[in-house]
Structure 1
Amino acid sequence: MIRIENVSKSNSNRILYIEASAALNRGEKIGLVGPNGAGKTTLFRMITGEEQPDEGQISTEKGVTIGYFDQDVGEMSGRSAVEEVMAGAGPVSEIAAELHALEAAMVDPDRLDEMDEIIERYGEVQGRYEELDGYGLESRAREVLAGLSFSQEMMDGDVGKLSGGWKMRVALARILLMRPDVMLLDEPSNHLDLESLIWLENFLKGYDGALLMTSHDREFMNRIVNKIIEIDAGSLTSYSGDYEFYEGQRAQNEKQQQAQFERQQAMLAKELKFIERFKARASHAAQVQSRVKKLDKIERVEPPRRRQTVAFDFLPAPRSGDDVVNIKGVHKQYGSKIIYDGFDFMIKRRERWCIMGINGAGKSTLLKLIASDAKPDSGTVTIGASVKLGYFAQHAMDVLTGDLTILQWLEERFPKAGQAPLRALSGAFGFTGDDVEKKCRVLSGGEKARLVMAAMLFDPPNFLVLDEPTNHLDLDTKEMLIKALQSYEGTMLFVSHDRHFLAALSNRVLELTPEGVHRYDGGYTEYVERTGQEAPGLHS
């Protein structure tokens, strides 16, 4: 359906692609992977024609419709969320607009003389609208929005009043409702809660078109894709299978290439030693010459290109007392909505609680109460002896203002640390080389989140309270963070929609449901086994 042939592309002095080729065929669901800045979004933009390759070509079969979701959702206002979604549904939305215009024309007294043509055209357009199931469009739009966790009130409210994250969901819903022949989804799993993520996963599994997507959520990608295209050093390499298969295959290929490289290096060293030893002897001249010629003809094996991922050893956290948090009889409500009513909860040292619950169940409220970002209406929240609390929330990025660079901001926070460990810390969170000279105020949301997280873990508290810590982290940084937190000896309380993160780090689950609060010993994996659901109310 889409062919990428010998494409080369540079972006402001940076080479992204060198004679790269790949194909997207009918029914394929492909995960596009590669480090940040490798050119994933550029590839999407070249497929849609928003950008042109410098050389080579990208061709799309005639008549193939493409729906493209990216993080830049643009302006949305003046319509309800459901109208906004319907407006993006491709041909059917254009026909709906013409139907509305014809209906207005039929009651316009100034157009009586055209009435026969208007009625005839109305009949044709109505027939086509029915053919495309136009009358079912609104109910399908509402179904998609409900899957993405919209309430009826939000569906019918002004889309302009929604936050950036919810507008992102509206933009995603437009593409899903359109059901094009090819979907290009750039990070569709960002900004989604676990329930919406699982709904989207099932939707995409049942989608019969071709799919090319990026995602920083390995579990999500694993369950959907049947092929991986990797961007590596300017070329595109295809692997048949899911993300896990690709990881294993890539490691195996690297191992084989390394072994080949080492064998060849040993052989070359042996040959060069012989040449060096006998080059001055006339009796061996012919042999030396033939070996020199042989070496010139040998195709050299390159060592495998290893992804640059920086591991970082975080300092051990100081020990806290055994009782980390004690919540007694807490009541909390917003307006008429009661979030907690007589809530009791105790967190002990080294417990790692993940909090599960649908939108509005009170997950973030609990974190805010513990971090003193909110006060209970009644009841007490007591933090234990020697507890040093670190709180990461989406608004934590507000501290990054002014004209300081990344390195200066870190030096200001840790004046005794010295540049080398701070550069290593920056590298572990994806700020390599000159990135540390970027001004904090120009950083993207994702970069700010990574920097705040890095600073928190450089001088680790013994109690981490994390609200969606992986929202803006790429796969490699997320993996590094998981490894660091697995050896962290403090206590954790966190909310996350990343199932790999939940499974790797939790040893307790607190589930908030309308029927009450449930506690589970054992981590997220045991919770799924015990309840048969990956999120409250959703059976896996």
Structure 2
Amino acid sequence: MSRDIHIESLSVTFHGHDLIVDSELELNYGRRYGWLGLNGCGKSTLLTIISCRELPIPEHMDIYHLTREIEASDMSALEAVINCDEERMKLEKEAETLAADDGGGGETVERLDRSYERLDALDAATVEKRAAEILFGLGFDKKMQAKKSRDFSGGWRMRIALARGLFMKSAILLLDEPKNHLDLEACVWLEEMLKKFDRSLVAAAGIIAQETAGDVRIYDRYSRR
């Protein structure tokens, strides 16, 4: 039941090109990692390989990979975040069914107690508050949180997908260019939020190399420095 990943002699080839050759990949639980590289060097490919479990990653470690915006639907932005926690929703439904079963006997009571204990561990009583706080940090005021997701542009639905990842707190969170659809205020909030992320986090960002008068300067695409 280890929560750390340690892979030796890792090699990755994509369309005949060697992206990684005989390297070591180590992701420790509770650590935050940033991957920087020129566009096309394989950052997104490696994140996809991890999320698809093409590497030996234990099954008990859940993974959230931010790849695209959420689908347009009639769910509000707040509902879209809250309803992504399938385990919590299943437990709540099970607890409701068991509580309504008056003749279930001792076994039903034990199952109900286990469901309530797990819901407490998931902090189910505060889901709406936590989801609302994350959305607010990403630029959604109260009115926008109640707005149907299909009424948002793709960029704003991408923010909702990011909110889902932060809300879920999976064992491994993979973010590929997470600031692409954010304004400066939301970027600052996200940086502070990720500083407190207590699982395994990998965030990838592209850099730009510019050659000037014999000197090569490296820029990140957000601050240009």
User: Could you tell me the TM-score, scaled by structure 2's length?
Assistant: 0.81
Cα 1:101–1:154, aligned 2, differ >3 Å: closer, same or farther? farther
Asked if structure 1 preserves the Cα contact closer than 8 Å seen for 2:74 and 2:150, the reply is yes
2: CA distance, partners of 1:163 / 1:104: 38
Conserved in 1, the CA contact under 8 Å of 2:70 and 2:161? no
Work out which of the residue numbers 115, 128, 132 in structure 1 matches 2:122. 132
Out of 148, 157, 177, the position equivalent to 1:158 is: 148
Q: Which letter does structure 1 place at the counterpart of 2:133? A: E
**Aligned counterpart, 1:206:** 196
Q: Percent identity?
A: 32
Deviation at 1:146, TM superposition (A): 0.7
Alpha carbons 1:65, 1:182 under 8 Å: kept: yes
Deviation at 1:119, TM superposition (A): 5.5
Higher relative contact order (CA 8 A, sep 6+): 2
Unpaired runs of 5+ in structure 1?
A: 53-57, 219-306, 313-474, 479-497, 505-540
In structure 2, do the counterparts of structure 1 residues 308 and 174 end up closer, same or farther at CA, with 3 Å as the change threshold? closer
Aligned to 2:5: 2
Match of 2:90 among 88, 94, 97: 97
Match of 2:49 among 40, 46, 54: 46
CA displacement, residues 295-337 of structure 1 (integer Å, 9 cap, x when unaligned): xxxxxxxxxxxx975669xxxxxxxxxxxxxxxxxxxxxxxxx
Query: Map of 1:218-229 to 2, 5 A cutoff?
Result: none
The question of whether the paired residues in 2 share the 8 Å contact of 1:16 and 1:38 is answered with yes
Q: Structure 2: 5+ residue runs without aligned partners?
A: none
Q: Which of structures 1 and 2 has the bigger CA Rg?
A: 1
Q: 1:105 & 1:161 partners in 2: Cα distance?
A: 37
Partner of 1:116: 104
Contact 1:184/1:211 (8 A) holds in 2:
yes
Q: CA deviation at 1:143?
A: 0.7
1:66/1:47 CA distance change after superposition, 3 Å:
same
Partner of 2:17: 14
Residue pair 2:69, 2:159 contacting (<8 A) in 1 also = no
Instruction: Say whether the 8 Å CA contact 2:38–2:209 is kept in structure 1.
Output: no
Corresponding position of 1:73: 69
- In 2 relative to 1, CA 149–27 (structure 1 residues): closer, same or farther, beyond 3 Å? same
1:85 aligned residue (77, 81, 88): 81
Which among 159, 169, 176 is matched to residue 159 of structure 2?
A: 169
Q: 2:61 aligns with which of 54, 59, 64?
A: 64
Structure 1 range deviating more: 172-181 or 196-205: 172-181
1:40–1:116 distance in 2 versus 1, CA, 3 Å: same
Output the TM-score relative to the length of structure 1: 0.36
The question of whether the paired residues in 2 share the 8 Å contact of 1:175 and 1:183 is answered with yes
CA distance in 2, matches of 1:149, 1:34: 28
1:26 to 2:33 alignment: no
Q: How many residues align?
A: 216
1:242-257 → structure 2 map (5 Å cutoff):
none
Partner in structure 1 of residue 178 of structure 2: 188
